[in-house]
Amino acid sequence: MKIKMRTAMVHPQYGVAQSGQVIDLPEAAAREMVAGGYAELIIDRRRPESAAMAGAPERAMQMRPDPRDRKPLPAAKEPEAKK
């Protein structure tokens, strides 16, 4: 879980982190730091890879129809003259 440190931290297992630094900690340790006011939780707004791959293919990856394969439009009819 990613957190942004508000204060400096020295921990024998997780190392040293300065204030303002974003670090990745195990969930339990990160929640303790946030609850104690020593850090802010960083919320990742991107979708996880598994969710991105689950649905329909991305629109950017879909093939566009070739304009040369289109059928020509029928010729326009000329308006009839009034008699």
- What's the mean pLDDT in 2-31? 91
Predicted model pTM: 0.51
The pLDDT tens digits of the residues spanning 36-60 come to: 999 999 886 665 555 555 555 566 6
Mean pLDDT rounded to a whole number for the chain: 79
CA distances from 71 to 2, 39, 66 (A): 55, 62, 11
CA–CA dist 79, 66 (Å, integer): 33
